[in-house]
Structure 1
Amino acid sequence: MRQPNEIDFWRGFALVTIFVNHIPGIVFERFTFRNVAISDSAELFVFLAGWALRKLVDGPAKPLSARYLILRLEGRAFTVYLAQLVIAQLAIALLAGASLLLDAPFLLDWNNASAIFADPVRAHLGLVALTFQLGYFDILPLYVALMLVSPLIALSYRHARAALLPVSLAIWAFALAFGVNLPTWPVEGAWFFDPLAWQLIFVLGFLLAGEDGIGGLARRYRKPIGWIALPIVLLGVAAARIDFDPSPIALPEPKLFFVFDKTFLSPARLLSSLAIVAVFAGSFGAISRALPRLGAFLSLLGRNSLNVFCAGSLLSLAGQVFRFAYGGDVVSDAFIVMFGLIVMGAAAWASEWRERLRAKTSKEPAA
């Protein structure tokens, strides 16, 4: 397994903060960075997913032909898709079991789940098609959509590198200008994370991970960019602390360019997330020297991000139910967070233990 590194560390950090933030009202959510920024860990998670794609394309997948590159990336998309189906069904079972155990039928309405019990035939079709999404379980559908189009990104990088960022920016601007999003079904609405908008930060992560182009430029001028980004981060801190959010009524059209909208990844959120990356890039070395165990633990989570994300999503829902059943205070919330971190760490350790066992078995001679 690879050694702790900056990307795995920040991916682990994002996974922990997503776990905490998905338990509304928990005491510790006030200490996550969404309280001191316009953006949150969702942007960081998607940005790092794009970064990981570039490392794959420039690394193990570099010698692959277009055909095998497509197969590899679509295989990853299918793996994430299966993970989404499994955790969605487990979440539904958890809500159903809690409603029976606690004699609280209204739990069946939590997190947009009511359709699965009121209209199970169409809702299950929607689950399979990703058009029906539970609340707090809507990041992986975005990831599936991004991985489905990742071969286009990778092949554009190979054969039309100069067009990749302009096309991505144009799609993002189109989505914001006209409010274009994917519809949900059977519950009427739209995706919480619009893939047409969020693909931009995925592509930016992909491009900035490279040694050439804007990635190389960012590395050469990392310190000046960091100083330029610092005031933007501080403005985000101020906006978050005073709970500033522009009123859509007072804004010109198209309003999505000016509001702090998460669904469409508005410019303010995008700029905030990129500024945070610029300010904290390169800080892993100092953090790991000062807090080596923290660095190793978060890197462990980040190395096994899909399994840990699935575990964390279910733990967040379990934490919501626990707080409903037993109330929320500092002690119970601390128990939820500690238990969640232990289980997420165990999921990561088990994932690596399985890989080590598989590698050891493959080296042993056949009997």
Structure 2
Amino acid sequence: TWQFLFVIGIAGMLHIKRGGEIRFNWMMASAAVLYLVGALIWVRLPLWGIETASGLPTVLTGFDKTFLSLSRLMHILAIAYLIVAIPALSNLARTRPGHPLAVLGKHSLPVFVAGTILAMIAQVMKVVSPGGLLYDAILISTGIALQFGFAYYLEWLPRIGWGGKKRQSGATLPSAALKPA
């Protein structure tokens, strides 16, 4: 489910890097705002049960984090569109390249995988030793710190010559120059 969101994000990023843009459109922005307000009302009133009363499959109407239902997909796409298309919101979300959140975002997929593994380990630890509020705070803080540490580790690797793009030395000849005439 989350892989689909990563693919949507990557596709959007590639579109922008190739010179494309995501322009503001009043119809799209209005639809996004209306959807988000509707979702807020649905959750705050609460109107739980409407999604199942409609008789539609859970894939379309479910609100469970386990699956990426249509309602959850539309929610994240509406938020993402408004942040990207409205310059004031986009500028609020912008950070410098060395900012900790930017470093985390630059390595989002490996950090996400590490976070998933850490969450599984933490679930086992909670079953073995339920602990209390302090235990939970230490467990969560440690997981967050490990994810940031992992992101900075991945950022450091290319500086020491591991990973990243390979540097070509000036003495390297093109392969065409090595062929006999």
Aligned to 1:50: 8
**Percent of pairs identical after alignment?**
23
Unaligned runs of 5+ in 2: 172-181
Give the direction of change, closer, same or farther, for the CA distance of 1:275–1:314 in structure 2 (3 Å limit). same
Corresponding position of 1:255? 57
The residue aligned with 1:355 is 158
1:219 match: secondary structure: coil
Is 1:219 aligned to residue 177 of structure 2? no
* Cα separation, partners in 2 of 1:329 and 1:284, compared to 1, 3 Å: farther
5+ residue gaps, structure 1, are 1-41, 63-209
Alpha-carbon distance between aligned partners in 1 of 2:60 and 2:117, rounded to the nearest angstrom: 34
Q: Following the alignment from structure 1 to structure 2, what is the Cα–Cα distance between the partners of residues 257 and 49?
A: 19
Residue 331 (structure 1) aligned with residue 137 (structure 2): no
287 and 267 in structure 1: CA distance in 2 versus 1, 3 angstrom threshold: closer
Higher-RCO chain (CA-CA 8 Å, sequence separation at least 6): 1
Task: Give, in angstroms, the shift of residue 350 of structure 1.
Answer: 1.1
CA distance in 2, matches of 1:365, 1:269: 51
Q: Give the conservation status (yes or no) of the 8 Å contact 2:63–2:69.
A: yes
Counterparts in 2 of 1:287 and 1:273: CA distance versus 1, 3 Å: closer
In 1, distance between residues paired with 2:165 and 2:112?
A: 26
Once the two structures are superposed, the pairs formed by residues 88-167 of structure 1 within 5 Å of their partners are none
Any residues of structure 2 matched to 1:271-310 within 5 Å, and which? 271-281=74-84, 282=87, 283-288=89-94, 296-310=99-113
Q: Verify: 1:240 aligned to 2:43, yes or no.
A: yes
1:311 to 114, 124, 129: 114
Offset from partner CA, 1:220-239 (integer Å, 9 cap, x none) = 42x66334422311221232
Q: CA RMSD in A?
A: 3.8
Distance (Å, rounded) in 1 between the aligned partners of 2:145 and 2:152: 10
Greater Rg over alpha carbons, structure: 2
CA contact (8 A) 1:308 1:348 kept: yes
Q: Which amino acid aligns with 1:310?
A: V
**C-alpha distance in 1, partners of 2:7/2:134?**
34
* 1:324 to 1:365, Cα distance in 2 relative to 1, 3 A: farther
Q: CA deviation at 1:364?
A: 7.0
Alpha-carbon distance change, 288 to 269 in structure 1, aligned in 2, over 3 angstroms: closer
Tell me the distance in 2 between the aligned counterparts of 1:315 and 1:264.
Answer: 20
Equivalents in 2 of 1:297, 1:243: separation in Å?
38
Using structure 1 for the length normalisation, give the TM-score. 0.37
Task: Kindly state the Cα deviation for residue 308 of structure 1 after the two structures are TM-superposed.
Answer: 1.0
In structure 2, the residue matched to 1:322 is: 125
Q: CA deviation at 1:319?
A: 1.4
Q: What residue in structure 2 maps to residue 163 of structure 1?
A: none
8 Å CA contact retained: 1:227, 1:279: no
Q: Structure 1 residues 353, 365: CA separation in 2 closer, same or farther (over 3 Å shift)?
A: farther
Greater percentage in helix = 1
Deviation at 1:344, TM superposition (A): 0.7
